[in-house]
Amino acid sequence: MDNILVKNILVGISGGIAAYKSAELVRLFKKAGYEVRVCMTAGACEFITPLTLQALSGNPVHSALLDTEAEAGMGHIELARWADLVIIAPATADLMARLRAGMANDLLSTVVLATDAPVHIAPAMNQQMWAHPATQENVAVLQQRHKLHGPAAGEQACGDVGYGRMLEPQEIYDGVIRSFGDRKLSGHRLLITAGPTREPLDPVRYLTNRSSGKMGYAIAEAASAMGAQVVLVSGPTRLSVSNSIKRITIETAEEMLAAVTNEVANADLFIAAAAVSDYRLKSVSSTKMKKNKDSNVLQLDLVENPDVLATTSHANPDLFTVGFAAETNDVIKYASGKLIKKGLDLIVANQVGADKGFDVETNQVDILTADGNHHVLPEMNKSLLAYEILAIICQYYLATDTSDT
């Protein structure tokens, strides 16, 4: 399945104590830009209120198979048709048994039978229930039809310890995302930079920019989900990254260049999404700088930083290299100049400022290629946009790839 075709996600919730975790799972999908609806069993409604899930998803919650009001709007067939993907979390032993048997005695089980979308299941139950031969037989059958996530081992609400805990929402989210795509980057090694750099002025202050790193991190996650081995060289951010991605944390432009230079020999594709500071202080003060009593003007002696992207591109002419250009005006003009000057294969250009690019969850980009092609991608959530960007990069990168992978 191609991720760009996945827009609508149905989260199914059955009646287990782990149902409270489903609220966070819904939030993660919504934050990533997906349209989310929730389908709850009667038992699930005893553990978490539909109102909570409605508030988080922004849509009415579906629970009654024979609800005439629901049938008039989003009946079980329409709900099944609406979903591009179904994730059931938690899935109790009872629900899994009913799914294995192909029963349709509530809305959730009926939707599973009626949909042609991929169905993912995150089991959650007592460790003895999980270990029971009947459950394991059900698991074996369901794994042939659907994708299972977990369960994990650990202490359970009943006090037992063992397998049966539902995976944490972030783990389920990551697993679902990784199921997207044809893993066309399997065997390929990507080196990606992201985030801002910080150039110290003294032990307290520094020069930086407004980059959050979200776009670069989203590309790293998407590349990993597509099968790539990813190294992410990141400036200071508050973002987390999947365990499958090797993250190297740096502060300054010189540190970023050193890290990239150290890693680039093992890379097949270099994507420079970081917002690197153009200048640094010529001489960093060892103590906190004080106000000048005789003047209300502070003069800083700045020197130009190394250009991480241009240096790497010119030193590795056979490396497929993608740059980013964040501009406040004349975006295509400046991006075209950078594409040529820095010897890039592609450049991703976007306008920043006035609530665009920085400090927001969405982005709109133009992608220019060395052979003169111009792709325009509409504004969308950065997590979804990352896949769109990589899809275009792959058109050109995989066409030039001569490796045996």
Catalytic residue ranges: 158
CA angle 376, 381, 386 (to 5 degrees): 65
Q: Give the residue carrying structure tokens 């306008």.
A: 351
User: Concatenated DSSP letters for 246-296?
Assistant: EEEE--SHHHHHHHHHHHGGG-SEEEE--B--SEEESS--SSPPPP-TT-S
Q: Tokens 């489903």 map to which residue?
A: 22
In 322-379, which residue ranges form alpha helices assigned H by DSSP?
331-341
Instruction: Please state the separation of Cα 12 from the chain's center in Å.
Output: 21
Pairing of strands 85-91, 8-13: parallel
Cα separation, 122 vs 50, in Å, equals 20
β-bridge partners, 21: none
Give the CA distances from residue 185 to residues 6, 312, 324, in Å, rounded to whole numbers and listed in that order. Answer: 19, 22, 20
What's the first-to-final CA gap in the chain, in angstroms? 21
Other Cβ atoms less than 10 A from the Cβ of 132: the count is: 14
DSSP for 147-172 reads: EE---EEEE-TTS-EEEEEPPPHHHH
Cα 87 from Cα 178, distance rounded (Å) = 13
Q: Is 346 helix (H, G, I), strand (E, B) or coil?
A: strand
> At residue 268, what is the residue type?
D
Query: Distance between CA 383 and CA 33 in Å, rounded?
Result: 7
Tokens of 240: 């987390």
Query: How far apart are the C-alpha atoms of 330 and 333, rounded to whole Å?
Result: 5
Please answer whether residues 321 and 313 qualify as being in contact, where contact means their C-beta atoms are separated by less than 8 angstroms. yes
Q: Which residues pair with 192 in a beta bridge?
A: 232, 271
Instruction: Tell me the HSE value of 401 on the side-chain side, using a 13 A CA sphere.
Output: 19
Identify the sign of the CA torsion 269, 274, 280, 284: negative
